[in-house]
């Protein structure tokens, strides 16, 4: 018996020693780089004129997922940033648009009246991730090692900084045009760190001057990211830290000037140079091959409709607000009650449930009447009852995206599915800009490139989805994926 006990004890000691000698490898830093409104084909449209070390380096050294699609509607900024970092869709993370209706009241995706601005007294500082119903990569990273990892985020837009950072981030910083510098909110801190105040003094711009509309705004975001990296000493400890960087100016400029506008080209030229510089900084501070970076977009963007029409390609517009007025007129004539439709967000039409209930009307009947009115518009292919979208007589791919985009507490009742290249407003002949929001490839096909730590050069055309990004990063880090993640880890 003594000999048997000695053998068992020896085996236990050997096992313990073996475990003690093993260590899971991990990068010093994870960098998420989201470029607002970046189409997938921009990787190649700008490639030949790109500088060495920027986008070229990411493509030539990284792993590109060439067929990454957004698997929900609508394809807009707040949802895209949330879905990248949570690995799920509006149905589960609850961010259903940049703004949306909740209990009949229109709300901002990051608005929070219970917090105050830090670095600004304006309403721009009243923001937090309270509306987000799921965790992020950063939240899971901090949970994995008892909150030793540090997570920071920066962008020009509040939603592009706050939603990627998650609920437990150390800080998120966004730009307040009214004061001309980066701010935060009391959700994260009581006052700006000294280094942020010093950065703002050196880089302040004129109040009420929209930096998103300038290529220099791209550079300013990267400069702030580098300042976070240096002053918070990210990547300097024995755990993985995370830095979320979102470039917002490309979206603002794209909306105004379109995918082929000269200022859009200037913005991407600047982006390319800034990426090259940022990668050099990461190489120097963190070490080449010691950080994991991914580049993607929150959504893409359609070609300008006038540009298409000038080249004999069909494009047109329809009035979403006009459609709401037509619905209200029809419902008022039938039921004698005004404004039974609240409004719209992207292509979702919201009905006024409180009025419908108080009038004793049948919601399904009201929806059918609204759908009949919407389908009178020959620019709309289908009007879909969102609660029954799974059985709608439309292509399976679109059914799935409507279902994924539908949250019963925050999404509209009816989805108006327009024809391809159909803008949700009536535009003029001198219109030069663009928009996004549809299921179509021009809005939903986004770039996805992994680079750095444990990433070999290569590419795949296998279908991947925006929700796969979080699952992939977490798999590489050997941590649990976010708590509502429905994505699958991509195999390199």
Using DSSP's 3-state secondary structure scheme, residue 387 falls into: helix
Distance set, CA 355 to CA 134, 155, 374, 469 (Å): 31, 40, 20, 41
The DSSP bridge pattern shows strands 291-296 and 448-452 to be antiparallel
**Element spanning 99, H or E:** strand 99-102
Looking at residue 285, the DSSP 8-state letter turns out to be I
- Could you give the CA distance from residue 200 to residue 194 in angstroms, rounded to a whole number? 10
Is the previous residue joined to 489 through a cis bond, with omega within 30 degrees of 0?
A: no
Asked if residue 31 lies in contact with residue 291, where contact means CB atoms within 8 angstroms, the answer is yes
What is the separation of C-alpha 234 from the centre of its chain, rounded to a whole number of angstroms? 23
> Which residues make beta-bridge pairs with 344?
349
Using DSSP's 3-state secondary structure scheme, residue 93 falls into: helix
Q: What is the dihedral of CA 462, 463, 466, 468, to 10 degrees?
A: -60
Exposed (0-12), middle (13-18) or buried (19+): which is 370, by Cβ within 10 Å? buried
Q: What is the dihedral of CA 84, 153, 245, 68, to 10 degrees?
A: 0
Looking at residue 211, the DSSP 8-state letter turns out to be G
E-state strands within 177-270 = 181-185, 241-247
DSSP labels, 267-321: HHHHHHHHHHHHHHHHIIIIITTSEEEEEE-S---PPPHHHHHHTT---EE--HH
Among 68, 77, 86, 264, the active-site one is 77
**Has 77 been annotated as catalytic?**
yes
> Which residues make beta-bridge pairs with 33?
245, 295
Asked if residue 420 lies in contact with residue 380, where contact means CB atoms within 8 angstroms, the answer is no
Q: Smallest Cα–Cα separation from 112: which of 125, 95, 93?
A: 125
Q: Which region, left, alpha or beta, applies to residue 13 given φ > 0 means left and ψ of -120 to 50 means alpha?
A: alpha
Q: Smallest Cα–Cα separation from 64: which of 345, 293, 273, 239?
A: 293
Please report how many Cα atoms fall inside a 13 Å half-sphere around the Cα of residue 457, on the Cβ side. 6
Token reading at 456: 């070999």
The DSSP bridge pattern shows strands 241-247 and 29-35 to be parallel
Q: What are phi and psi of 292, to 5 degrees?
A: -110, 125
CB 231: neighbour CB atoms within 10 A?
Answer: 15
Residue numbers annotated as active site: 77
């Amino acid at each position: 018996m003594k000999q048997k006990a000695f053998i068992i004890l020896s085996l236990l000691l050997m096992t313990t020693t073996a475990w003690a000698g093993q260590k899971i490898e991990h990068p010093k830093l994870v960098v998420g780089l989201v470029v607002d409104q970046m189409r997938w084909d921009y990787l190649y449209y700008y490639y030949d004129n790109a500088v060495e070390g920027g986008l070229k380096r990411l493509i030539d050294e990284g792993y590109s997922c060439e067929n990454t699609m957004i698997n929900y509607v609508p394809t807009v900024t707040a949802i895209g940033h949330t879905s990248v970092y949570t690995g799920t869709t509006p149905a589960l993370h609850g961010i259903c648009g940049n703004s949306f209706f909740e209990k009949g009241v229109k709300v901002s995706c990051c608005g929070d009246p219970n917090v105050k601005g830090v670095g600004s007294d304006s309403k721009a500082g009243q923001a937090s991730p309270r509306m987000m119903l799921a965790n992020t990569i950063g939240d899971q990273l901090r949970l994995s090692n008892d909150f030793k990892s540090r997570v920071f985020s920066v962008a020009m837009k509040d939603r592009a900084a706050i939603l990627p950072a998650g609920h437990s981030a150390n800080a998120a910083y966004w730009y307040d045009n009214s004061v001309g510098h980066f701010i935060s909110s009391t959700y994260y801190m009581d006052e700006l760190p000294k280094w942020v105040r010093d950065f703002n003094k050196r880089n302040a711009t004129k109040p009420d001057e929209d930096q998103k509309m300038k290529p220099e705004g791209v550079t300013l975001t990267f400069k702030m990211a580098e300042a976070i990296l240096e002053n918070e000493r990210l990547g300097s400890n024995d755990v993985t830290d995370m830095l979320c960087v979102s470039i917002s100016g490309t979206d603002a400029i794209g909306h105004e000037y379109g995918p082929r506008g000269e200022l859009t080209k200037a913005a991407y030229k600047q982006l390319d140079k800034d990426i090259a510089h940022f990668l050099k900084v990461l190489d120097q501070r963190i070490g080449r091959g010691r950080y994991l970076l991914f580049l993607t977009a929150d959504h893409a963007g359609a070609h300008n409709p006038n540009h298409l029409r000038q080249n004999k390609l069909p494009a047109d517009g329809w009035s979403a607000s006009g459609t709401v007025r037509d619905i209200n007129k029809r419902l008022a004539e039938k039921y004698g009650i005004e404004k039974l439709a609240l409004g719209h967000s992207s292509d979702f039409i919201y009905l006024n449930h409180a009025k419908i209930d108080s009038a004793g009307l049948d919601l399904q009947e009201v929806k059918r009447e609204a759908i009949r009115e919407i389908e009178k518009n020959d620019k709309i292919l289908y009007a879909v009852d969102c609660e029954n979208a799974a059985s709608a007589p439309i292509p399976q791919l679109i059914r799935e995206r409507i279902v994924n985009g539908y949250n019963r507490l925050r999404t509209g009742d009816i989805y108006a599915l327009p024809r391809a290249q159909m803008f949700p407003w009536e535009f003029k002949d001198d219109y030069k800009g663009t928009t996004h929001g549809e299921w179509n490839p021009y809005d939903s096909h986004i770039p996805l490139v992994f680079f750095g730590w444990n990433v070999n050069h290569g590419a795949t055309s296998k279908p991947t989805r925006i929700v796969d990004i979080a699952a992939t990063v977490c798999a590489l880090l050997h941590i649990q994926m976010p708590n509502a993640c429905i994505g699958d880890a991509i195999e390199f």
